[in-house]
Amino acid sequence: MDCGLNGRSYIVTGASSGLGFASAQALAADGADLVIASRDQERIDDAAARLDSPAGVRAVVADLADESAAQRLVATAQEAYGRLDGAVISVGGPPAGRVEDTSEQQWRDAFESVFLGGLRMARAVLDTPFDPASGMAVTLVLSSSVKSPIPGLAISNGLRPGLAMAAKTLADEYGPRGGRVNVLLPGRIDTDRVKSLDAGTGDAEASKAKAEAVIPLGRYGTPEEFGRVAAFVTSPAASYLTGIAIPVDGGALRTL
């Protein structure tokens, strides 16, 4: 399926590995020009080298907690490609822990990066001048914790639902101008983050087996499976999708 990405330009944050890299790979494979970003120069340069891209790729060091990062990424896309058509905004998961064990400073730090950083990036992209006929698409990569709390991930459980509702509000506000905003809710995808969470239980294999037992498809997803969904939702092929939260979790969520 041709998603209409050829000649279009997108920003992908958190793109040095995991879900961000998989999203960038899927966009690039369909012909999109990319600005990819993460907090580490060596890792984002390596990601750019690994991308199988027939189009352009610009690697930028950026921390979304930095108030200037969003505008720098938008400016890079415009300077490199002369246009910007959207973004996949992936922010690394906040520290694991229970509410009773989590410090106020950890909440503040996570709010700056996970919540404000993601919101700031979305607004910067949506405020970029664009042709309403072509549209502007923002896809926020959050977590299944938006719909159901995950044990041991208190900060994620607290911040992700609020950001999802802010995204829904952005979809309402920018829709009349041609802006689309959607949210993806990854479940157990086989990334380094999920492996770390499994290992943190003290028995990674038992943790994985327990999780797989309640996933209707009976397994963890692959980053590539997630990336294809992200690319589609962000592409012109999904031009009538906005304001929705899409689980990518093998059916694990027990809510609609």
CA angle (232, 236, 242) in 5-degree steps: 75
Q: Tokens 């970029």 label which residue?
A: 128
| pLDDT value at residue 54 | 75
Assess if residue 79 is contained within a domain.
yes
The CA distance from 117 to 110, in Å, is 9
| pLDDT value at residue 91 | 87
User: 67: how many CB neighbours lie within 10 A of its CB?
Assistant: 11
Domain that holds residue 65: 9-189+224-247
pTM, to two decimals: 0.96
Q: Are 37 and 73 in contact (CB under 8 A)?
A: yes
| pLDDT value at residue 1 | 72
The CA distance from 7 to 223, in Å, is 24
Assess if residue 28 is contained within a domain.
yes
H or E element at residue 75: helix 69-81
What lies within 8 Å, CB to CB, of 53 at 6+ separation is: 28, 29, 34
Assess if residue 145 is contained within a domain.
yes
Assess if residue 211 is contained within a domain.
no
Q: How many domains in the chain?
A: 1
Assess if residue 195 is contained within a domain.
no
Q: Token pair for residue 123?
A: 């607004």
Assess if residue 4 is contained within a domain.
no
Q: What is the pLDDT along the chain (256 residues), one digit of tens a residue?
A: 789 999 999 999 999 999 999 999 999 999 999 999 999 999 999 999 999 777 799 999 999 999 999 999 999 999 999 999 999 999 888 989 999 999 999 999 999 999 999 999 999 999 999 999 999 999 999 999 999 999 999 999 999 999 999 999 999 999 999 999 999 999 999 999 999 999 999 999 999 999 999 999 999 999 999 999 999 999 999 999 999 999 999 999 999 8
Per-residue pLDDT reduced to its tens digit, 91-118: 888 989 999 999 999 999 999 999 999 9
Assess if residue 109 is contained within a domain.
yes
Assess if residue 98 is contained within a domain.
yes
- Looking up residue 48, the CATH number of its domain turns out to be 3.40.50.720
